[in-house]
């Protein structure tokens, strides 16, 4: 089950870029909520890394420069799960996010939302929200930037 969730999140990450919204900042530095925050400077540094002999890896690193930030929050505590779900629901209602995908497998509900740019191939903001009843865990992934799906398409080859 964990492999399914991790695979779904990783598969969605190139297609999703989330607005680093203050709505989710309240989950940062809270006992009972695990968090990982990656800012624009880290992505800029990653894009400066040059990898010889692996074009695909270099393309990923170059694309990372277009990300502005990533926030990941995870909790197993009921009071925080309720607050996280409420915050996500309110945020999706108040912002121009479109549900890109939803899945329900083995007690895990996964929803992916995005905000497109001026062109359909541009993703500006995204959100991945996972409720895992089996593992009693809730995960929120939020990231922002400007990703072009045309760039991502190049990874098919």
Task: Tell me the residue range of the domain where 139 lies.
Answer: 2-41+67-156
Domain-embedded: residue 78: yes
Provide the domain count of the chain: 1
Domain-embedded: residue 49: no
pLDDT at 19: 40
Domain-embedded: residue 143: yes
Q: How far is CA 33 from CA 30, 45, 76, 77, 94, in A?
A: 6, 27, 8, 8, 24
For 1-34, what is each residue's pLDDT tens digit?
Answer: 555 555 555 455 444 434 445 889 999 999 999 9
For 42-64, what is each residue's pLDDT tens digit?
Answer: 888 877 777 776 777 777 777 77
């Amino acid at each position: 089950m964990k492999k399914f969730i991790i695979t779904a999140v990783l598969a969605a990450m190139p297609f999703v870029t989330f607005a680093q919204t203050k709505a989710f900042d309240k989950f940062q530095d809270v006992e009972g909520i695990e968090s990982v925050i990656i800012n624009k400077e880290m992505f800029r540094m990653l894009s400066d890394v040059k990898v010889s002999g692996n074009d695909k890896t270099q393309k990923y690193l170059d694309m990372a420069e277009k990300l502005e930030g990533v926030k990941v929050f995870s909790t197993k505590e009921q009071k925080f799960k309720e607050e996280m779900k409420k915050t996500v629901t309110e945020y999706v209602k108040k912002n121009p996010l479109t549900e890109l995908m939803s899945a329900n497998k083995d007690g895990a509900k996964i929803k992916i939302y995005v905000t497109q740019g001026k062109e359909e191939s541009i993703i500006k903001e995204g959100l991945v929200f996972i409720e895992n009843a089996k593992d009693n865990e809730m995960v929120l992934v939020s990231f922002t930037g400007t990703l072009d799906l045309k760039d991502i398409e190049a990874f098919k080859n």
